[in-house]
Structure 1
Amino acid sequence: MSTMKAQVFRGVNQLSYEDVPVPEIGPDEVLVQVRVVGLCQSDIKKLCYPLYEPPRIFGHETAGTIAAVGHEVQGWQLSDRVVVLHHIPCMHCSYCFNENFSMCEVYKNVTTTAGFTPSGGGFAEYVKVPGHIVRHGGLIRIPDTVSFEQASFVEPTNCCLKAVKKAAIEPGQTVLITGAGPIGLMFIMLVARFGTRAIVTDLLPNRIEKALAVGATAALDARDPELASKVKELTGGLGVDTSLLAVPSEKAFFQALDCTRKGGKILFFAEFPDEVEIPLNPNVIYRREIDLMGSYSSSYKLQPLAADLVFSRQIDVDALISDTYPLKQLTQAVEKALQPGPDTYKILLYP
């Protein structure tokens, strides 16, 4: 039996770079050699908080090449370059019929694995892709003109795109995006692509500059006491049509409430710590007709569009990459993400 290197989650803040068996595939499964895997905020949470029983191998923003193909698999062969999607809905439960794909139990139950309890498996040299994911569009062919690095953005692009679609953001509107980290910057690119103006807030001066560089109309310091009046000024006295919360901050929520026009929307995209409760006078929602909504994970339906936006370079994902580490240094990569420097955006890892 051959072995491979993987970063195994052994407990809170305990990663072990060790040898594990290469997963064995069944007749309808595919083995992918991981070339690049993105570090996601959700990975960081899983590594730093007691959310899941160890041992596990996380990582899900995966791009690589097919290294083995089960004999029943059709349409894929060795050395095909692919994006691996770590969950695909069942397509026949009530949630799927309502297009709430991310609420489907099959979707939520991650099945791509590099060993132990299936948990994504991208933080390893090889990852096994189960049959239902192979069959139902969970492998996406990477065009020759697209790098593995660029392709690793397909899944996060879908997550952001889903939120933009859910909030029904239209050309000519103005949105407030709180936070100009990798996700906030991705939102700027997407809404700009759809003809929408983005006003962005952040605490770091470099991120404020970066937001403008990737297409924001205005970028403001989140601590600015005049923030709400500046946003009103930029929107003809009205306020923004929609606010996208890309940071889990109560302060950001209340700023969004101050900056969103009557009849506007506020969308929770970042996941808050479970103990956070936000005191809210319901009359604010009632009198100002504000819609509060949430958007979690990706949408199966938007998969072709997300891939096309990345592959045809309609959004410049290269501008989001700031740091690259060998997989061996995942611990350092997580530390960097938790204590971002002035120019830290998206971090990619190489097994």
Structure 2
Amino acid sequence: MKAQVFRGVNQLSYEEIPVPELENDEVLVQVQVVGLCQSDIKKIRYPLYEPPRIFGHETAGIIAKVGDRVTGWQVGQRVVVMHHIPCMHCDYCLNENFSMCETYKNITTTAGFSPSGGGFAEYVKVPGHIVRNGGLIPIPESVTFEQASFVEPTNCCLKAVKKAQVSPGQTVLVVGAGPIGLMFVMLVKYFGGRAIATDLLPSRIEKALSVGAEAAFDARDPDLQAKIGVLTGGMGVDTSILAVPSEKAFFQALDCTRKGGKILFFAEFPDEVEIPINPNVLYRREIDLMGSYSSSFRVQSLSADIVFNKRIDVDALISDRYPLQDLSKAVELAVKPTADTYKILLYP
């Protein structure tokens, strides 16, 4: 089969490799579409992992083979593949910190080499633990593979929205209106909140408005805090979500968040970034800082329901489609987006 093999920093090799061999409790899925995620891009562009590996984890496809001991799944079924499933019984899982679970971190889908997601290949192998514990989700006939590939990123955003306890009537500032920021706008609206978005690109500001933001502004607007004050009765927003890794964005969010509000870090910052802050600002204004990383098993069914029943319009997020052999071009576009670049999908 063909696969995009990570051979070193910024070195992708479109190669012929063996189809993964199955154990008797595993499932082989033929990949139909896989989304390109910012985490994939970081793994390709920075020395975070030893090569060789095959990345890609926002995967939808067709079951091509099942192991002898697999029950409940048949060849030909259309499925979303979740690349991580927690153990459900460690201390992290019992406290619903599923993404901190060692099983969650260490058992993942693979197309070969060190297991690393494996979606950037024609076939991906799903380990028995993931097969047995809810890591395959059947795709309804009315749902396309493209739409289904959004279940995993929707889960990640939904986890953050739930963690921030976004509720009807609240106002949420979404900092950054790329594909993830736009998904936050949609989810905030779905849960009855009012979304305000910021970005540097005029096209993304317009896009945020088109997918449900009540207001959207240029992040460089010197009157941003005042404008948000007008929209919130002088209070500021209840929650700010950082969908871009920017120190300036954090301080902007701090200025725009009300006393007793929350700031949630969703985008991953470079390790060398440190943000100096006077702790009395948090103390006196009672601001909660929180982070949300990866997905949550708790919201997996809800994320599938939201996508499959079209409660948010994931089709509106798709901007570009590439054959898998052009993954390098797709990464370059994501790193240097045009005015109309949002979600990029790849096809083996």
Question: Could you tell me the TM-score, scaled by structure 1's length?
Answer: 0.99
- Rounded to whole Å, the distance in 2 between the matches of 1:187 and 1:241 is 15
Q: Give the corresponding residue for 1:153.
A: 150
> 1:109 deviation in Å?
1.4
Instruction: Report Cα offsets for 1:195-249 as digits up to 9, x if no partner.
Output: 1000000000000000000000000000111111111111110000000000000
Counterpart of 2:114 (choices 91, 98, 117) is: 117
Q: Give the corresponding residue for 1:297.
A: 294
Letter in 2 for 1:145: S
> 1:110 deviation in Å?
4.1
Give the secondary structure class of the aligned counterpart of 1:158. Answer: helix
- Rounded to whole Å, the distance in 1 between the matches of 2:305 and 2:108 is 25
Moved over 2 A (4+): none
CA contact (8 A) 1:110 1:119 kept: no
Counterparts of 1:1-351 in structure 2 under 5 Å?
4-351=1-348
Instruction: Report Cα offsets for 1:321-346 as digits up to 9, x if no partner.
Output: 00000000000000000000000000
> 1:298 deviation in Å?
0.6
CA contact (8 A) 2:107 2:127 kept: no
**Which stretch has the larger CA shift, 142-151 or 226-235?**
226-235
Question: Could you tell me the TM-score, scaled by structure 2's length?
Answer: 1.00
CA contact (8 A) 1:110 1:120 kept: no
- Rounded to whole Å, the distance in 2 between the matches of 1:194 and 1:91 is 27
Q: State the superposition RMSD in angstroms.
A: 0.4
- Rounded to whole Å, the distance in 2 between the matches of 1:218 and 1:42 is 28
Letter in 2 for 1:88: I
- Rounded to whole Å, the distance in 1 between the matches of 2:136 and 2:110 is 14
- Rounded to whole Å, the distance in 2 between the matches of 1:314 and 1:29 is 32
- Rounded to whole Å, the distance in 2 between the matches of 1:349 and 1:76 is 25
CA contact (8 A) 1:164 1:191 kept: yes
- Rounded to whole Å, the distance in 2 between the matches of 1:330 and 1:43 is 11
Instruction: Report Cα offsets for 1:164-204 as digits up to 9, x if no partner.
Output: 00000110000000000000000000010111000000000
Letter in 2 for 1:282: P
> 1:108 deviation in Å?
1.1
> 1:55 deviation in Å?
0.3
- Rounded to whole Å, the distance in 2 between the matches of 1:131 and 1:271 is 30
> 1:111 deviation in Å?
2.0
- Rounded to whole Å, the distance in 2 between the matches of 1:257 and 1:184 is 18
- Rounded to whole Å, the distance in 2 between the matches of 1:170 and 1:109 is 34
- Rounded to whole Å, the distance in 2 between the matches of 1:108 and 1:227 is 40
Aligned length: 348
Provide the identity percentage. 80
> 1:77 deviation in Å?
0.3
- Rounded to whole Å, the distance in 2 between the matches of 1:91 and 1:263 is 33
